[in-house]
Amino acid sequence: MKKLAFCVALALAAGGAYAKDWSTIRFGTDASYAPFESKATDGKLVGFDIDLGNEICRRLNARCVWVEEDFDGMIPGLKARKFDGALSALTITPQREQQIAFSAKLFNTPTRLVAKQGSPLQPTIASLQGKTVGVEQGSIQETYAKQNWAPKGVNVIPYQNQDQVYLDLQSGRLDAALQDEVQANLGFLKTPRGAGFAFAGTEIPTGAAAIGLRKEDADLKAKIDKTIADMIKDGTYKKIESKYFDFDVYGG
């Protein structure tokens, strides 16, 4: 009997299966992306994603543990089991879906260019040739800019986090920054540090954000997907959304 139990345990470990005890759920997040995730003056993590994650844990009777991680470390950290879900305005892309699974959609994530107010810059190759654009490492904006703009003469500079992008934009070391529209609006343009800057050109549709999950954790995905659907249905999602946005961030 002991030999049989040992063999079963060995087989589960070899197949990448682990005991599924979701009494604690660890979420990885990059706290430089207000209003989705940032740090309050007391060091506490706050934001739309943080509230959504805490509510998901509450409904699953699980303890939420938040693990801070640079954005480009989200998928590696998830796969290395540093946390159970990447909850950090992570956009669903075919490339990412090759590596990880995603929960049901949390919100839309259009992309916008930000530059000095009155700048003639547009999010086009012709306009940005010879210019320097800052992006966050690991973001869909980095991928977009490197694939579409960098080969055509646009200098694309990746940064470890979004706050560093804005610092260099303010200092004049960058001509523009490319990032999520909502984050740029509420986390930069409508704050004192965003004075003198504005959106440049129209939005670039880039998809929807969700929670990144390991493919083998199908049971956790099912639990989270049901919880998200329940939150939308009973109005809890709208209640949380209204704390941060005066528009529908979920979209169609």
pLDDT digit string (tens) for the chain, length 252 residues: 434 444 444 444 444 444 588 999 999 999 999 999 999 999 999 999 999 999 999 999 999 999 999 999 999 999 999 999 999 999 999 999 999 999 999 999 899 999 999 999 999 999 999 999 999 999 999 999 999 999 999 999 999 999 999 999 999 999 999 999 999 999 999 999 999 999 999 999 888 999 999 999 999 999 999 999 999 999 999 999 999 999 999 986
In angstroms, what CA-CA distances link 102 with 61, 83, 177? 21, 14, 27
Q: Is 175 helix (H, G, I), strand (E, B) or coil?
A: coil
Those residues whose C-beta lies under 8 Å from the C-beta of residue 15, and which sit 6 or more positions away, are none
pLDDT, position 206: 85
List every span in the chain annotated with CATH 3.40.190.10.
Answer: 22-108+207-241, 111-204
pLDDT digit string (tens) for 80-134?
999 999 999 999 999 999 999 999 999 998 999 999 999 999 999 999 999 999 9
For 129, the enclosing helix (H) or strand (E) is none
* Global confidence as pTM: 0.83
Q: What is the pLDDT of residue 96?
A: 97
CA pair distance 210, 228, nearest whole angstrom: 10
pLDDT, position 205: 82
CATH classification code of 111-204: 3.40.190.10
DSSP per-residue string spanning 146-183: HHHTGGGT-EEEEESSHHHHHHHHHHTS-SEEEEEHHH
The whole-angstrom distance between residue 58's C-alpha and the CA centroid of its chain comes to 21
66: DSSP letter: E
Q: What is the pLDDT of residue 252?
A: 64
Domain 22-108+207-241 CATH superfamily: Periplasmic binding protein-like II (3.40.190.10)
Residue 14 is predicted with a pLDDT of 40
Question: In 3-state terms, what secondary structure has residue 211?
Answer: strand
Which residue bears the tokens 């290395």?
Answer: 80
Q: How many CB atoms lie within 10 A of CB 230?
A: 13
